[in-house]
Structure 1
Amino acid sequence: MPRHLHLPYHQSAAHETITQAQRLQLLRDLVDPAKPFFQRDRAAALLLALFAQPLTRIAALTMNDIDLSGDEVRITLGSHGPIPVPEPFGQILRDHAADRGPRNIEANRTSPWLFPGRRPTQHVHSTYLMNQLAKSRINLLGTRLAAIRILVLEMPPAIAAQALGYTPECAEDHATLAGATWAGYASHQRQRRDPEA
């Protein structure tokens, strides 16, 4: 072995996001009943594209994480508590929860998991979900990155982190990459409520 071993620094490749227009088109496709998605895949892709949820977290959601009791569907993804699912997307989750297929078997109807696996005691494996969504040519990572970067532009990263189950550091990193500046957020919100302030 030489006395001085040089190991080149490994720099991870930048991940390419999809555009906001592509993300919106995917969301339109997900609510279009003419598009050939299994209801389960439609619901999983919705949580990916709308709330930037990784497939490992989507797969492990339980029926207790979704509130279908009121007029508005609410889902718990982070420590912030339930967040509303806007329509028409809420109906997709209602339809999926009523028939947690694609196989309509008794074990699925009584399973505690929002996305049941082949065995009643287990949720679907995230790799299986990944393969199913990839068949629909959904850019999984690009979609999730686009969603989180839009969300941290629309709300302060700390709030996005709590609502979506991300760490504050991760949300801040995405906000920086998205070009968000939240230094004047409090005064901006105050002015929106009281324009004469």
Structure 2
Amino acid sequence: MTTADFLDRAVADPIGLITDLVADAEDELGPEAIRIVVTAVAGGRAKSRRLAEALATRPAVLTDGLSPAPRAVGDLLIELRKAGALAISPSVCADRGKSLRSLQRQGRDWYCSVCVKETTQCAACGNTRRVTFRDRKGLPRCSMCPDHDDRDPVTVIQAVITAIAPGAERDAVAEALRRSAPHRATVPLPRRWDTGARARRPVRCRDRRLVLRRLENQNLTLVTCRQTDLERWMTGDDARHRREAGHFVRWALSQKITRDLSFPAVRWNGPSQAMDDEARWDTARRLLHDHILKPEDRLAGLLLLLYAQWPAAISRLTVDHIEETDGAVRIHFGAVPVDLPGPVAELALQQVAARRSHAVLARTDSPWLFPGGQPGRSISVWAMGERLRELVIRLAETRSTALFQLATELPAAVLARMLGIDITVAVKWQRAAAGDWAAYAAEISRRDSLHNHEVEPATRRPDPRNG
């Protein structure tokens, strides 16, 4: 293939191209192991295409590890070495030529941590130290010399605004500043949460705004607010978002921002509405026998209806989660495999054999049971949820009903190991369903004592999963 062909494939199938280029240079790792590493490093569609384009333009970087190259290439080399690749070169420092286990980047070159440490004379203390940041004048500062500014922020902003629009009043500027950033001084967040990813924040911004906006309307802050003020608001007719407010108040207590407030969490005591088990079984029968629907949609719907699996868990299933031994088909949700009844087993085996993506009509070689539109990636949780909603399945209600029913038949320990849920969740559902370990043990003992397994207990309802 020519370079032009490689570049075209970098757009159409970046994961496959990267895997093939690495496999050509590496003999120790198999194609499947390489694909797993590539998929983890490549990320989204745009990043994977840039990575594929860089390797297609200069594949020699896989064996020499030299920059300039995108950071994703250096990360790929490091992860391949961690996976056991021998022919793949580690990333190499552009200055010292040493092999890197982690890299720092300046421009398109890779450096070790020693080479990127810039040392110079601090503009404040005069000592030669590592440059931590630069002040407002662009001069280097060390970590011991912060750039303090004791001026009033409103005065500084007003000076900037009046230079553009003369005549701006200070009160108007102060009010605009308060509306645009009203809570920054009221609730200081730790530095690592200000600059870090949102996923690491212990409380959502929406929860914080709800409480602080209400306090502001009452001319209160977290420091001046008392328990009576909080209870008066939460018991009022206009109180909304009680759960979100509770999250924030408990977080403020844990951070010692306030000491006088209390907002206990409400213990979950089971479902808040009746479980429509008949509708669940009717939908299961429809998916079992309606051959007009797509087989992959029928299988995904049955996994939710019968085994209480969220779309997130369904989308992460691979073909290795399905096993066929001695004529029995099993699926792994947790530590213990679950035997699939005949009709569901047929759909599972059919999906393993076909594995068609919702965006590609032909069969794919993806390891995912439900492939996505991007090569080498599974279907997204959002797309899986939308496909289940198109089957007229209400996700949360259906899963709760299935979990409630299963909790009445199985002890919490078995439920957790079979469905892959946390044991505390299983215990709560068993208590809500009034499940009884003794009844389960007695049922198992009675089944074992029967010689003819075709006889079903009279108390058990017909199971439509068996057609």
TM bin, normalised by shorter chain, reads 0.7 to 0.9
TM-score by length of 2: 0.38
Q: 1:44 is matched with which residue: 300, 307, 329?
A: 300
Alignment-derived partner of residue 19 in structure 1: 276
Q: 2:290 is matched with which residue: 26, 33, 52?
A: 33
Q: 2:377 is matched with which residue: 103, 122, 137?
A: 122
Cα pair distance change 1:117/1:193, threshold 3 Å: closer
Cα pair distance change 1:15/1:136, threshold 3 Å: farther
In the TM superposition, residue 51 of structure 1 has moved relative to its aligned partner by 0.9
Q: Which moved more, 1:3-12 or 1:94-103?
A: 3-12
Q: What's the secondary structure of 1:74's corresponding residue?
A: strand
Q: Percent identity?
A: 28
Q: Does 1:139 align with 2:394?
A: yes
Alignment-derived partner of residue 79 in structure 1: 335
Distance (Å, rounded) in 2 between the aligned partners of 1:26 and 1:150? 15
Q: Which moved more, 1:16-25 or 1:178-187?
A: 178-187
Count of residues in Structure 1 that have an aligned counterpart in Structure 2: 191
Alignment-derived partner of residue 113 in structure 1: 368
Q: What's the secondary structure of 1:96's corresponding residue?
A: helix
TM-score by length of 1: 0.84
Contact kept, 8 Å, 1:17 with 1:145, in 2: the verdict is no
The one-letter code matched in structure 1 to 2:310 is P
Q: What's the secondary structure of 1:105's corresponding residue?
A: coil
The one-letter code matched in structure 1 to 2:377 is Q
In the TM superposition, residue 114 of structure 1 has moved relative to its aligned partner by 0.4
Contact kept, 8 Å, 2:334 with 2:419, in 1: the verdict is yes
Cα pair distance change 1:111/1:69, threshold 3 Å: farther
Q: 1:154 is matched with which residue: 390, 409, 413?
A: 409
In the TM superposition, residue 163 of structure 1 has moved relative to its aligned partner by 0.7
Distance (Å, rounded) in 2 between the aligned partners of 1:27 and 1:184? 27
In the TM superposition, residue 83 of structure 1 has moved relative to its aligned partner by 1.6
Alignment-derived partner of residue 99 in structure 1: 354
The structure whose RCO (Cα within 8 Å, separation 6+) is larger is 1
The one-letter code matched in structure 1 to 2:297 is D
Contact kept, 8 Å, 2:317 with 2:368, in 1: the verdict is yes
Alignment-derived partner of residue 4 in structure 1: 225
The one-letter code matched in structure 2 to 1:134 is R
1:159-180 alpha-carbon deviations (Å, 9 max, x no partner): 0110110111101111122121
Distance (Å, rounded) in 2 between the aligned partners of 1:84 and 1:146? 21
1:132-179 alpha-carbon deviations (Å, 9 max, x no partner): 111221111111111111112111111011011011110111112212
In the TM superposition, residue 100 of structure 1 has moved relative to its aligned partner by 1.8
Distance (Å, rounded) in 2 between the aligned partners of 1:17 and 1:141? 13
For structure 2, the 5+ residue unaligned runs are: 1-219, 235-241, 244-265, 451-467
Q: What's the secondary structure of 2:225's corresponding residue?
A: coil
Distance (Å, rounded) in 2 between the aligned partners of 1:138 and 1:40? 15
Q: What's the secondary structure of 2:437's corresponding residue?
A: coil
Cα pair distance change 1:29/1:182, threshold 3 Å: same
Larger radius of gyration: 2
Alignment-derived partner of residue 54 in structure 1: 310
Q: CA RMSD in A?
A: 2.6
Distance (Å, rounded) in 1 between the aligned partners of 2:274 and 2:379? 26
Contact kept, 8 Å, 1:17 with 1:142, in 2: the verdict is no
1:110-143 alpha-carbon deviations (Å, 9 max, x no partner): 1100010112211000110111111221111111
The one-letter code matched in structure 2 to 1:41 is D
Q: What's the secondary structure of 2:355's corresponding residue?
A: coil
